[in-house]
Amino acid sequence: MTISPPDMPFPSPPDYAPFKAGPFRLSMGLMPLDLTDWIEPDTQCAVELKEKERLLTERHDEVFAALPEAAPGSAEALALLVEHLPSQFPEVYKRNGHRLDNLATGQRWEIHASPLHPLDLAGRLVQEDLCLMQRQTHTQVYHLVGASLCFPTRWRLADKIGKPLNTIHAPIPGYAEQLATIMDKFFDRLKVEKPVWRLNWSLMDDPTLFQPTGHGRTGTNTDITPENAGDTLWLRMERQTLRRLPRTHDILFTIRVYVRPLAQLAAQPDRATQLAAVLRALPPSMRRYKSLPPFMEAVLTWLDRAAGKKRF
């Protein structure tokens, strides 16, 4: 039996708004995570898992990578998901011995007899992308040792695999000075029983989930105007979780991508006000990093109108 999308017992995607008022500050922005909320399936589950299957078939090496040392942590991550999903979402995920059925997609997984790498299989079970971080003795910091990354927000897995956190984040203006040290300390001290989550946001002119490039755009995109910005731009938000795995002590980083048309903010004037304030507070280096310059003026005018400060 396969459940059709309208009957899927998952909620609609949550309405996240990761915009903080006030001066710009690079921050970790971590919040405690209740592990019952670790994974966040929604009505897009079947569509997004199908897209993952397509990417993993057509361009496997771009969306999956695992170093040999990722094997134990990957197996642990898979085992945790196989335990978690049927207990949290019993209408969709059914466990039968070593078999796991996903009734939303009609997929059936033989967990122990699968030819797939355990992290690859784990990534096909959930909408989240999965990144495995491991502390390396030669550097004494955490490195990316494996990932199932179908929906990257402007980064290439091949550029980051094997790299430490600070190299991974090197393109971010201010990271080295403001975040590198506290991040390394945080990763060292993260406790099994204290998982965390955070939100990230981007504004993009393309709603495609798989976006491995696109930082640092400049110039002006004359196709995006104050009149059509709501229909030509998308808010892309990432809900990220971090948990230390109890057995291997590796850290699993999950990334769930939500893409919303900017036009939704036309009905949410407070959100439009907040986003306009956040955009105006961004330093030029961060505007460039996020590829905002091509449509910055257009989107600010559109947001001011949505906020009710100007007429459409």
Among 17, 67, 172, 282, binds ligand HEM (CB under 6 A): 172
Residues 243-272 that bind ligand HEM (CB under 6 A): 253
Q: Rule CB under 6 A: is residue 209 a binding residue for ligand HEM? A: no
Among 9, 14, 28, 54, binds ligand HEM (CB under 6 A): 28
Distances (CA, A) of 139 to 66, 162, 176, 244: 19, 12, 16, 19
Residues 51-90 that bind ligand HEM (CB under 6 A): none
Residues 30-49 that bind ligand HEM (CB under 6 A): 30
DSSP helix/strand/coil, 215: coil
**Which CB sits closer to ligand HEM, 52 or 143?**
143
Structure token digits, residue 75: 């197996």
> Distance between CA 88 and CA 206 in Å, rounded?
33
Among 20, 84, 95, 215, binds ligand HEM (CB under 6 A): 215
Per-residue binding string, ligand HEM, 132-151, x by CB under 6 A, is: -x----------x-------
HEC profile of 129-168? EEEEEEECCCCCCEEEEEEECCCCECCCHHHHCCCEHHHH
Strand order in the sheet with 196-204: 31-32, 196-204, 234-244, 251-261, 129-135, 142-148, 64-66
CB of 127 to ligand HEM, least distance (A): 17
Which stretch in 8-16, 22-30, 33-41, 205-213 sits in contact with ligand HEM by CB under 6 A? 22-30
Per-residue binding string, ligand HEM, 288-307, x by CB under 6 A, is: --x-----------------
Structure token digits, residue 48: 């997004």
Radius of gyration of the chain (CA): 20
Angle at 184 between CA 171 and CA 256, to 5 degrees: 65
Q: Which residues of the shown chain bind ligand HEM in the complex (CB under 6 A)?
A: 26, 28, 30, 131, 133, 144, 154-155, 160, 168-169, 171-172, 183, 186, 200, 202, 215, 242, 253, 290
